[in-house]
Amino acid sequence: MIALLAGGCGGNTYTKSDFIARANAICTGALRQTRSIPPPSAAQATSGQDAALAAYLDSVVPVLQSEQSQLRALRRPPGNARERATLEHYLTALTQTITNYKQLDVAAKRGDDQAVADAEAALGASQVYSLAASYGLRACGTPGATAV
């Protein structure tokens, strides 16, 4: 009886690999959703049609927020301090990325080209992809997975 109990104790261990598999599935789903939303055409983007960008972001931002919410809801796996810190830095960068997309959306709606450029620069400087990849989140660490 003791051998049976001891053997069953390790069978339900939640690992980093389990977390990564679930997180990658979430990011893959979000990527699929964002890619199904038609982006503004090149002509709209170059002619300063901020309304087209704002309409696009109005569809994309909720997908990103859902992705973030699902990732944050995942149980954190055990790991060393460095791994835990990398994961938390990734989640913080993801939150900032979504904030930057919201700022981009607001700026586009206002027709504020400088604020649009600032938000785009902040998005370009984000470490969200490198942090995800360094943790092992392949799908979340691919440009376009957590951003448009």
The upper half-sphere exposure of residue 76, i.e. CA atoms within 13 Å in the direction of its Cβ, equals: 14
CA distance 135 to 141: 9
Residues of the chain whose pLDDT is less than 70? 1-12, 42-48, 143-148
Residue 115 lies in a domain: yes
pLDDT (0 to 100) of residue 49: 75
In a domain, 88, yes or no: yes
pLDDT given at position 133: 93
| Structural domain boundaries enclosing 73 | 14-135
Domain count for the chain:
1
Separation of alpha carbons 78 and 96, rounded Å:
25
The confidence score (pLDDT) of residue 42 equals 65
Residue 85 in domain: yes
In a domain, 107, yes or no: yes
